[in-house]
A = this chain, B = another copy of it.
Amino acid sequence: MNKGFKKTYCALVRRLEESSRLGGVMGILHWDQEVIMPAGASESRAQQIGALAGVLHEKTTHPEMGKLLDELFAADENKFTAPEWCNIREARREFHIATRVPKVLVTELAELSSRSHQIWVKARSENKFSDFVPALKKLVDLKIKWAGYVFPDMQPYDANIDIYERGTTQRDITPIFDKLKAELIPLIKAIQSSDYKPDVSFLSGQFPIEKQEALGRRIGEDMGFLFNHGRMDVSTHPFCGGSHPTDVRITTRYRTDNFLESLYAVIHETGHGLYEQGRMQNGRDLPVSEALTMAIHESQSLFWERMIAQGKPFCARYLPLLAETFPRNLKDVTPAQFYEAVNVSGPSLIRVGADEVTYPLHVLLRYELEKGLFDGSIRVEHLPEMWNAKMKEYLGVEPPTDTLGVLQDTHWSGGAFGYFPSYTLGAIYASQFYQALLRAKPGVEKQIAAGNMAPVREWLGVQIHQRGRLLSVPDLVERVTGEKLNPDNFLDYLKNKYRQIYQLD
């Protein structure tokens, strides 16, 4: 770094580290709230989170921050190392997002999101979409207004996507999603019409929670999750949280009549957790080391859940352990049977439980509706009708109620428009990364089959985790895979895999 800017840059670093640490504190508050907090403390916790959010906002938007950033940004990029410039760039983006919106709109959005969430909870439980309409309309309006302040050069929906998936716009997403639609709808229909149905009977039974927990912990350890730098607990919805790369906390939930759901939740969240634990050693309290985008984060969880744990080598490796744990159900099952059972595919009403073939259609339905809401071509009142028609068209099923349809997801009630595409972009990246891994380490599936997953984790570490935010998503994907975002790989993977399982040829 040029010496003239050293003092200024150091002052920026101190501020960024402080914010990062306070952000870690916020992580603990959220984890605690979901996992361990007494039920009667929800009101006081909301106020604590509010107070800390206020402090974080003050820190992010501090005038001194603006001054430091102006000064540093006026310099030439080549006066800084890449990590330094990344921190400056990221801090500037945060500063702009936080300061460009008038305070009155920030407050209005915060209050409306919080209120809308309550309204949505009630509307969903009572199956009354009409009760949710006014709040949802207002949220879309405010988010369009918000977009005009934050990224005035972007289309409003692109601005909303940018918060989760910077640098990716509808122009990138729409053709890819159209292709997925064109190819997956016939595949789903073919799977549905197949006479062959994998045997899943052995997945039902009684599975004691202690045994499920021990299993999840063992497989998490094999994947390389460091329990010395993390925890595994129980919450209503599985998630990966925590406060720092040395304090990464995943959760799962247990059902005594199904062990697969919990186990694959553990593997999915461990995939997120490995990304966090694997962040670069320098700058762990700075933006440069942070996870890149939501889709890249999701690519890591899906990589482990779908590419590894639903693959043949993994199934072959872990069936004996599973059979030892649950002999009554699994002792006579073959690896091939187990592989087919964990890859069963079929249309369903609810996104969160969907399999890898049908999941993208849940996402692109939501993407199309959000796009329409933001460009004015779809009215909030028409959402249930359009939702149900698309479900029928894409998946061949129709929700009997809005609770099982348009009201199922929490995202919109909190104003999180533009988030859904990340799930499917993540699935596509995961499949591209897996092909790249096979090219880089041709023997890796044998190693997985032998229970050695260290090469996988190390490759992901070097290729993705340790790169933090140094590269943009397109640059990262190109560096790792040799090509840009490309759904062909993902489609080939799905078609080959499911044609084989469902004997479609």
Contact = CB atoms under 8 A, between A and B. Distances in A.
A452 to B, nearest CB: 24
Most chain B beta-carbon contacts within 10 A, residue among A29, A41, A55: A41
A36 B32 CA distance: 10
Interface stretch (A19-27, A92-100, A111-119, A431-439): A19-27
B243 A45 contact: yes
A51 interface: yes
A28 B24 contact: no
A167 interface: no
Given A25-B29, A28-B29, A243 B44 contact: yes
Contact of A246 (B22, B38, B52): B38
A179 interface: no
11 contacts: A18-B51, A21-B47, A21-B52, A25-B51, A28-B32, A32-B32, A40-B246, A44-B245, A45-B243, A45-B247, A55-B55
Contact of A44 (B24, B29, B37): B24
Interface stretch (A225-233, A292-300, A397-405): A225-233
Most buried by B among A25, A29, A37, A284: A25
A54 interface: yes
A240 to B, nearest CB: 14
A40 B248 CA distance: 10
Contact of A243 (B24, B39, B41, B246): B41
Nearest to A233: B36
Interface in A420-479: none
A43 interface: yes
A285 interface: yes
Minimum-distance CB pairs A-B, first 10: A41-B247, A21-B51, A44-B244, A40-B228, A40-B229, A41-B246, A21-B48, A44-B246, A40-B246, A25-B48
Contacts of A152: none
Would you call the interface of chain A mostly helix, strand, loop, or mixed?
helix
A102 interface: no
A63 interface: no
A247 B44 contact: yes
Given A21-B50, A28-B32, A38 B231 contact: yes
A228 to B, nearest CB: 4
Given A24-B48, A51-B18, A231 B29 contact: no
Contacts of A38: 227-231, 246-247
Contact of A39 (B17, B39, B228): B228
Contacts of A226: 40
A54 B24 CA distance: 15
Given A37-B247, A41-B246, A44-B246, 6 more contacts: A21-B51, A22-B55, A25-B51, A28-B29, A28-B48, A36-B231
Nearest to A44: B244
A242 to B, nearest CB: 8
Contacts of A25: 25, 29, 48, 51-52
A38 to B, nearest CB: 6
Interface in A246-273: 246-247
Q: Taking each of A21, A24, A47, A230, which has the highest tally of chain B beta carbons within 10 Å of its own beta carbon?
A: A21
Contacts of A45: 243-244, 247
A64 to B, nearest CB: 13
Contacts of A28: 28-29, 32, 48
A128 B433 CA distance: 57
A48 B285 CA distance: 10
A39 B231 CA distance: 10
A299 B187 CA distance: 72
